[in-house]
A = this chain, B = another copy of it.
């Protein structure tokens, strides 16, 4: 393997100049730069990543911690992060901590602290204040997406607010028998999302003076198949059927629509369904939803991080609310005329 020394010799320059020429930092005459570059090319030389990192202290590497890479939101975020990072010439080290706590802990300690990443993006992951301080102490900027990170920068959508408007959309259409499908308790643990959206739902219902019926509060695991099973219970049970379902995610909304179809219910004529996400499949099901641009959130997280790395000092713990977009399609409509007499 050729080293920078070989390049220097071949180019008739010093090691120092070659280093500056190839890394693009410092002043180098055009002539020297070109010589260095062509010598490097001829030798098939590339700067050693580890040597550069060790000497300079910069890694050009960002650690991304996600609970899973298989679910819509996370893979969308990772796509956004990945593309932006690649453009900036940064590597992305993926920590998929699906298997729960002990793994998460070992990741934070053995990996992140080993000075091998310049910054950390934590997606839907609740870090303790101590963990965050630990990272910040060794000057590793950290930005969180969709999770509360005390003391760190975060990017998140207004979960409570959009849940409210989703519910309000149904209410304004005239629905009063509205069910809510939230996330299973397990998902409450790390990222508070299910509870927050549920709170928004309740607020909207209360504001409208509508009753929240416990039997219409169901939950699932955020997947289509999980929601499908749950919605079959809800819609096929012996209890009275709601005329609308607000699902805390698009995947769950889709599962609900599939279940409804199984029972011969037409959407939206017999049942209105609304979700949250902006899932690619929404179009196929005519799903009304609130689009949170997950890729965009990932991209923004990277931009924020890089700004903190290159730019001046800490931008502080900016808590950015990411904008969402209400997408009205054909899964919501006015409720069916009540077959039971009113009085």
Q: Which A residues form the contact surface with B (CB < 8 A)?
A: 1, 46-51, 53-54, 59, 61, 64, 68-70, 75-76, 78-79, 82-83, 86, 89, 91-96, 98-99, 103, 107, 109-111, 113-116, 138, 223-225, 228, 255, 258, 261, 280-281, 283-284
Closest Cβ of chain B: how far from A289's Cβ, in Å?
A: 14
Q: Which residues of B contact A109 (CB under 8 A)?
A: 46
Q: A78-B96, A107-B86 are in contact. Are A224 and B284 (CB under 8 A)?
A: yes
- Give me 4 other A-B pairs in contact (C-beta within 8 A), A48-B54, A75-B75, A92-B94 excluded: A46-B110, A46-B113, A46-B114, A50-B50
Instruction: From A61, A91, A113, A224, name the one whose CB has the most chain B CB atoms within 10 angstroms.
Output: A91
Closest Cβ neighbor of A283 among chain B residues: B225
In angstroms, Cα B68 to Cα A76, docked, is 10
In angstroms, Cα B98 to Cα A48, docked, is 26
Q: A82-B96, A96-B83 are in contact. Are A54 and B50 (CB under 8 A)?
A: yes
Contact residue among B86, B99, B255 (Cβ-Cβ distance under 8 Å from A83) = B99
Closest Cβ of chain B: how far from A40's Cβ, in Å?
A: 12
Q: Which residues of B contact A225 (CB under 8 A)?
A: 280-281, 283-284
Sample of 5 A–B contacts (CB below 8 Å)? A48-B54, A69-B69, A70-B79, A92-B93, A92-B94
Closest Cβ of chain B: how far from A249's Cβ, in Å?
A: 15
Q: Which residues of B contact A59 (CB under 8 A)?
A: 50
Q: Is the CB of B284 within 8 A of A255?
A: yes
Closest Cβ of chain B: how far from A92's Cβ, in Å?
A: 5
In angstroms, Cα B68 to Cα A70, docked, is 12
Closest Cβ neighbor of A99 among chain B residues: B83
Closest Cβ of chain B: how far from A110's Cβ, in Å?
A: 7
Q: Which residues of B contact A92 (CB under 8 A)?
A: 93-96
Q: Is the CB of B116 within 8 A of A91?
A: yes
Q: Which residues of B contact A255 (CB under 8 A)?
A: 284
Q: A50-B116, A92-B94, A115-B49 are in contact. Are A79 and B83 (CB under 8 A)?
A: no
In angstroms, Cα B261 to Cα A258, docked, is 11
In angstroms, Cα B107 to Cα A93, docked, is 14
Q: Is the CB of B86 within 8 A of A79?
A: no
Q: Which residues of B contact A283 (CB under 8 A)?
A: 225
Q: Which residues of B contact A228 (CB under 8 A)?
A: 284
In angstroms, Cα B75 to Cα A78, docked, is 11
